[in-house]
């Protein structure tokens, strides 16, 4: 099962629980926030955020007369989550879903692959979680 499949399955199951006025079947959440949220309108799906060891689902309970409530449900994933950045050698030309790459000498390509593999190590990969600065073209 991929991370997207895992997240979609869990998010939909939890959303179903919340729409039916039940506590989430999986994960941890703030019970006081859920209690207050139940006094608002029906929940809506919010964002999904990832950390190396957690998936955070946000569910929004709107209230037209006051501030909306956001319930965060946190699950532990079955394995560590890593972010795979688009390698620096990939030219990000996107046309109808296709991403093209660039040509390199074999020795340079092997060096770039070692750099990419290093990005999977826990300390190196942590920098990819959270806001990212805009990419600049040279």
Cα→Cα distances 135→50, 53, 100, 103, Å: 21, 26, 17, 21
Q: Which residues in the chain land under pLDDT 50? A: none
Q: What's residue 61's pLDDT?
A: 96
Model pLDDT, residue 74: 98
pLDDT at 128: 86
Alpha-carbon separation of residue 53 from 38, 56, 67, 75 (angstroms): 28, 10, 30, 9
> Which residues, in sequence order, are bridge partners of residue 49?
56
Q: What is the pLDDT of residue 12?
A: 98
Query: What is the pTM assigned to this prediction?
Result: 0.79
pLDDT of residue 117: 92
């Amino acid at each position: 099962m991929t991370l997207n499949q895992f997240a979609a399955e869990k998010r939909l199951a939890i959303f179903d629980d919340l729409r039916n006025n039940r506590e989430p079947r999986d994960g941890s959440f703030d019970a006081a926030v859920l209690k207050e949220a139940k006094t608002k309108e029906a929940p809506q799906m919010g964002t999904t955020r990832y950390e190396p060891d957690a998936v955070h689902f946000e569910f929004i309970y709107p209230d037209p007369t006051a501030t909306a409530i956001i319930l965060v449900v946190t699950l532990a994933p079955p394995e560590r989550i890593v972010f795979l950045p688009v390698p620096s050698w990939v030219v990000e030309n996107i046309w109808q879903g296709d991403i093209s790459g660039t040509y390199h000498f074999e020795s340079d390509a092997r060096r770039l692959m070692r750099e990419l593999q290093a990005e999977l190590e826990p300390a190196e990969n942590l920098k990819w979680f959270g806001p990212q600065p805009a990419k600049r073209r040279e």
